[in-house]
Structure 1
């Protein structure tokens, strides 16, 4: 039974992915992060918004730029800008990504902090149509200045491929 379920899952992954990961295609991926499911030592609740856009430099390999913002439970807010790459495994929709971000934190106490993070993510692009995807992913962002600002979380977004 277990083997049958695994075979069905693999089949669904290969059937739903389409040829949108080709060179010179463009993508835009707005997403919601956190949703109460991310955690770090500095924050207990975080709701974030992120948008990425980029171009496939070669088949299955995209160069991205991103911008984002987080709303925290204590009123500490974060904005970020960065760049990254994403690799899609051939026609399955599964992807891995890496990014570098510059973060600016504004604290409710009046101070602020600048930080840089290296991030990694793994996700799946589930095609709703030829050009629109739902993209759930797990991510980890490693702070380069303070371990308490490193974050593990889950996000869900949409992908638009042109």
Structure 2
């Protein structure tokens, strides 16, 4: 636990002492670290595309997930992103990956498109989704934003799930 606390303090220290190259959070050459929470969807399908934090409990079943995303701004306001996550669904392990792009319209309105997939323990088929996400970035400082928004995950494999998932999200982003 002491090691985890040290890593968190070190990351925050780095974020607060490092300046974005051109003075803005979303300038070319800047980095982004992001964690999201999601509300919406139902059951396994809602959490199989998770690269954020989640906790759902119903009756004797508890689903929890942890993950994060990171990105690099290849141009002003345009970041390429990757994400990883882990979800425990009633002792079933799910590993999730995400690859996509995020664009900040007028540097404050994030719009994201990505491909998200999962590897589910002992599953005959694993989910694959196209995600569309939009929101608003509320910058608390030069290095921190809160990004409430909405997300829609469109299933790419009908055998796993033919339904899309609509979510309300609250994201937390660090820029450096």
Q: Which residue pairs with 1:58 in the alignment?
A: 75
State the match for 2:119 in structure 1. 104
TM-score by length of 2: 0.66
Normalising by structure 1, what TM-score?
0.72
Offset from partner CA, 1:65-111 (integer Å, 9 cap, x none)? 01123455x665532112100110113x11110001221224xxx64
For 1:31, the equivalent position in structure 2 comes to 36
Correspondences of 1:15-30 after superposition (within 5 Å): 19-30=24-35
User: Hey, what's the Cα distance between the residues in 2 that align with 1:154 and 1:69?
Assistant: 20
Deviations 1:37-63 (A, max 9, x none): 333795695654441101100001110
**Closer, same or farther in 2 for the Cα pair 1:96/1:42, shift >3 Å?**
closer
Structure 1 contact 84–97 (Cα < 8 Å) conserved: yes
CA shift, 1:113, in A, is 3.1
CA shift in 2, pair 1:53/1:100, >3 Å: same
